[in-house]
Amino acid sequence: MKFGYFDDAVKEYVITAPKTPLPWINYLGNENFFSLVSNTCGGYSFYKDAKLLRLTRYRYNNVPADNNGKYYYINDGQGIWNPGWQPTKTDLDFYECRHGMGYSRFTGKKRGLRAEVLAFVPMGDNCEINRVTLTNETGETKDFKLYSYVEWCLWNADDDMKNFQRLLSCGEVEVKGSAIYHKTEYRERRNHYAFFSVNREIDGFDTIRDDFLGAYNNNDYPESVVMQTSNNTLASGWSPIASHRLDITLKPGESTSLIFVLGYIENPVEDKWESYGVINKKPAEAMQERYKTDEDVEKAYARLKKYWSDLLSIYHVESKNEKVNRMVNIWNQYQCMVTFNMSRSASYYESGIGRGMGFRDSCQDLLGFVHLIPDRARERIIDIASTQFEDGRAYHQYQPLTKKGNSDIGSGFNDDPLWLIAGTSAYVRETGDTTILSELVPFDNDESKATPLMDHLKRSFDFTATHKGPHGLPLIGRADWNDCLNLNCFSEHPGESFQTFGPSEGPVAESVFIGGMFVKYGKEYADLCELLGDKKEAERAHAEVEIMEKAVLKEGWDGEWFVRAYDANGHKVGSKECEEGQIYIEPQGFCVMAGIGVEEGKAEKALDSVKERLDTKYGVMILQPAYTRYHLELGEVSSYPPGYKENAGIFCHNNPWVSIAETVLGRGDRAFEIYKKTCPAYVEDISEIHRTEPYVYSQMVAGRDARFHGEAKNSWLTGTAAWTFVNISQYILGIYPTHKGLSVDPCIPEGFGNFKVSRKFRDAVYNISVETNGAQKGVKELLVDGCRTEGNVIPFEAGKREYNVTVIMG
């Protein structure tokens, strides 16, 4: 069952029924000001950091669902309703929500009045624009009242939910003209405020939540709206809000528009006040002035649209497969931008107060984003590397506003350091910019301890090379990529954090997965050394990689697949010897991606075992058999009920690893089959089962052991986005950036047909046309501007701006 449809021509998903199985959201904002917006106008806004600078309040896990947003209410004398259906939930005569690239449009119609809301964050500005267009589609004059409504968050979203004894006395506002200013804590250490304005004279306002809603009312029945009044009172303490009232008359056929701006302003300390206790509103007024007219809004909207169509033209495929085109050209890349911006901080499942930016998460998010805006990727790499410790370890997370490592969680996730190599290597392969490697980067944000980035990578590499256990495999520390495989934790009491309980290091527990990573990224590290002319270091790296590869093949092989780990007692995890959890997906995917066991036939065996034991119609499960009881020696992985999350869920993130691994073996059919299973566009038809948005990936789909097999959770903020884009663009369609140039080596399913890719790479455009000849893999001929070329890499020619490439497979 579907709740809408893709409108690819305008790059939108169109939701036609407001009651989607879960809120289906979109992200507004690309730089510093962000909003989450659901298909019924729920959501919230923040500046840079969803924890520290939250602008509006949202109530997670609330009843009814998806409560609080930026709402517009209409009272036409016969009843109250919202163009986005919530929160009144009045039946609409027509409802539509169009989620597009950085904007959402809502249309609601009731009794002949059409209300359209266009919401977006303009490029280069710290505000959200809501243009509300009202049209009288009847033959009679219409008189009605329009109310806006946002509830302010008192900045620190964590405190806002906890520290009531203080904060309920702190709220302060000002009203000037049609703008309502939120200035809580501005009197002391904050130099920022927010405002909500409209470009027309208002007929009334409310800033006291309980006045507007009425005590004990929900926001589906606000007293002011119902009574058609406003209180015109100024909040002092409690919960300040901003609501405008506009009394509107529309003749038959007449239309009018109102431009609301929700803005964030920072003032210099010395210029905070206009007069005693009155905030300096000049920058806010200038911002309001910038979006005063429909033309202003149209211009800003057109700029946003152009920005996105330029970005998405960097990688563009044309194949006969509509779903692949749609995901590659639009939604997958769009999600990569969102994960790059948000890491795992703010979604409808990540509260924005929890995890900030993840070290490994952000490094991986880069992989799917670096081709879009390499400069931002560069900056991000430096930020991440700045939180590394001198011995190569890394803070597991950092806060986006301060960019400082988060000491609550600390370090000890032993895969983290290697992801820095992965991200940096991807950046250098994409851009050819080796200057980043000599950039001076501090350790633990201490500028006095800055060394070139390349030295950070060396320390990442050496950290793994020098932290090995009894089998010569990398020590796992608190956990590796699988945060829930806590082999040194041994937690016995509820509430102890699996992530931080117990020692961060253990001398025995080892990870085969990190072994696979070391082989893959160790080689990429060696390539970077080579690029800098450091042959000796490259050789040393290759030698270390070889040692690891041997250890993985010897100690990490279980007969039919790769072992997952060794626990703190030296027992195998993810082996046929285990009572449950006999096979895990991660080492199968990663070891094969790294090329381990390909020659020996072990890679093929491992992937066949994956198919036999982990496959389902909704995707590949992370492990089998599921853990049916709590295993003290394994930690969180066994804490989940069977089939959910890391305990035998279909953890989407590592499905592309296995798909990529299949391309390494040249099995295009199977690679694509795996791609399709979790691909949103392919599961759109079963939205009632899948439940999350059909245009983006979710972190997890419930596995075979779960009661709700096939149901997805935690949409949007998942490394699946980046890894899937890497998979489809670089391995299946096969356009892979190398240090020497773009290489072309597709691995496609039978019957995929010929396809074309246009790819901007460094300073040139590559128009690549692939003739597949019924082959799944193998390039028979590579023609660059008509000339036959050896190998798979399109050679660089300095100054050349366009390459026309024909690839003949066979």
Q: Return residues touching ligand BGC (CB under 6 A).
A: 355, 483-484, 499, 636, 645-646
Piece of 125-133, 479-487, 763-771, 786-794 that binds ligand NOJ (CB under 6 A): 479-487
**SS3 state of residue 339:** helix
* Shortest Å distance, C-beta 646 to ligand NOJ: 5
Q: Which is nearer to ligand BGC, 321 or 499 (CB)?
A: 499
Q: Which is nearer to ligand NOJ, 99 or 653 (CB)?
A: 653
* Shortest Å distance, C-beta 339 to ligand BGC: 14
Piece of 165-173, 260-268, 475-483, 486-494 that binds ligand NOJ (CB under 6 A): 475-483
Among candidate residues 735, 639, 723, the one with its CA nearest the CA of residue 678: 723
Q: Which is nearer to ligand BGC, 86 or 343 (CB)?
A: 343
* Shortest Å distance, C-beta 43 to ligand BGC: 22
Q: Which does 46 bind (CB under 5 to 8 A by kind): ligand NOJ, ligand BGC, none?
A: none
Task: Name which of residues 337 to 356 contact ligand NOJ (CB under 6 A).
Answer: 344
Q: Which is nearer to ligand BGC, 540 or 713 (CB)?
A: 713
Report the residue from 51, 57, 326, 360 that binds ligand NOJ according to the rule CB under 6 A: 360
Among candidate residues 529, 527, 517, 629, the one with its CA nearest the CA of residue 581: 629
* Shortest Å distance, C-beta 580 to ligand NOJ: 18
Q: Which is nearer to ligand BGC, 499 or 727 (CB)?
A: 499
Q: Which residue is nearest to ligand BGC (CB)?
A: 483
Q: Does 361 bind ligand NOJ (CB under 6 A)?
A: yes
Q: Which is nearer to ligand BGC, 479 or 603 (CB)?
A: 479
Find the catalytic residue in 160, 416, 483, 705: 483
**117-141 burial code (b ≥16 CB/10 A, e <16):** bbbbbbbebbbbbbbbbbbbbeeee
Q: Which does 360 bind (CB under 5 to 8 A by kind): ligand BGC, ligand NOJ, none?
A: ligand NOJ
Q: Which is nearer to ligand BGC, 267 or 414 (CB)?
A: 414
d(CA 452, CA 435): 10
Q: Does 564 bind ligand NOJ (CB under 6 A)?
A: no
Q: Which does 481 bind (CB under 5 to 8 A by kind): ligand NOJ, ligand BGC, none?
A: ligand NOJ
Q: Which is nearer to ligand NOJ, 183 or 380 (CB)?
A: 380
Q: Which residue has the tokens 């044309």?
A: 318
d(CA 351, CA 452): 35
* Shortest Å distance, C-beta 299 to ligand NOJ: 38
Piece of 304-312, 401-409, 477-485, 530-538 that binds ligand NOJ (CB under 6 A): 477-485
d(CA 654, CA 648): 12
Among candidate residues 177, 370, 405, 189, the one with its CA nearest the CA of residue 288: 177
CA dihedral angle for residue 720, residue 725, residue 726, residue 727, rounded to 10 degrees:
80
* Shortest Å distance, C-beta 637 to ligand BGC: 8
d(CA 694, CA 682): 8
Q: Which is nearer to ligand BGC, 333 or 511 (CB)?
A: 511
Task: Name which of residues 629 to 688 contact ligand NOJ (CB under 6 A).
Answer: 646
Q: Which does 741 bind (CB under 5 to 8 A by kind): ligand BGC, ligand NOJ, none?
A: none
* Shortest Å distance, C-beta 645 to ligand BGC: 5
Q: Applying CB under 6 A, what is the total number of residues that bind ligand NOJ?
A: 9
DSSP class of residue 508?
S
Active site residue 483: yes
Q: Which residue is nearest to ligand NOJ (CB)?
A: 483
- Helix axes 512-531 and 416-431, enclosed angle (nearest 10): 40
Report the residue from 267, 386, 406, 482 that binds ligand NOJ according to the rule CB under 6 A: 482
* Shortest Å distance, C-beta 628 to ligand BGC: 18
**587-596 burial code (b ≥16 CB/10 A, e <16):** bbbbbbbbbb
Assess contact for 84 and 18: CB atoms under 8 A: yes
Run of H or E residues at 106: strand 103-110
Report the residue from 80, 265, 484, 573 that binds ligand NOJ according to the rule CB under 6 A: 484
DSSP class of residue 574?
S
Tokens of 253: 């056929």
Where does 716-801 show beta strands of DSSP type E? 735-738, 741-744, 755-761, 764-771, 779-784, 787-789
Q: Which does 499 bind (CB under 5 to 8 A by kind): ligand NOJ, ligand BGC, none?
A: ligand BGC
Give burial (CB, 10 Å; 0-12/13-18/19+) of 658.
buried
Q: Which residue has the tokens 């690029």?
A: 531
| HSE of 535, CA atoms in CB hemisphere, 13 A | 0
Pairing assessment for the beta strands 764-771 and 802-809 based on DSSP bridges: parallel
**SS3 state of residue 797:** coil
Assess contact for 747 and 775: CB atoms under 8 A: no
Other Cβ atoms less than 10 A from the Cβ of 111: the count is 15
Q: Which residue has the tokens 């983290």?
A: 416
Report the residue from 181, 308, 481, 725 that binds ligand NOJ according to the rule CB under 6 A: 481
* Shortest Å distance, C-beta 394 to ligand BGC: 15
Assess contact for 13 and 41: CB atoms under 8 A: no
Question: Considering just the CA atoms, what is the radius of gyration of the chain in Å?
Answer: 27
| HSE of 314, CA atoms in CB hemisphere, 13 A | 20
Q: Does 358 bind ligand NOJ (CB under 6 A)?
A: yes
Q: Which does 415 bind (CB under 5 to 8 A by kind): ligand NOJ, ligand BGC, none?
A: none
Q: Which does 81 bind (CB under 5 to 8 A by kind): ligand BGC, ligand NOJ, none?
A: none
d(CA 439, CA 383): 12
**SS3 state of residue 715:** strand
- Helix axes 535-555 and 512-531, enclosed angle (nearest 10): 160
* Shortest Å distance, C-beta 344 to ligand NOJ: 5
Q: Which is nearer to ligand NOJ, 483 or 549 (CB)?
A: 483
Q: Which does 350 bind (CB under 5 to 8 A by kind): ligand BGC, ligand NOJ, none?
A: none
Q: Under the rule (CB under 6 A), what is the footprint of ligand NOJ?
A: 344, 358, 360-361, 481-484, 646
Q: What is the set of active-site residues?
A: 483
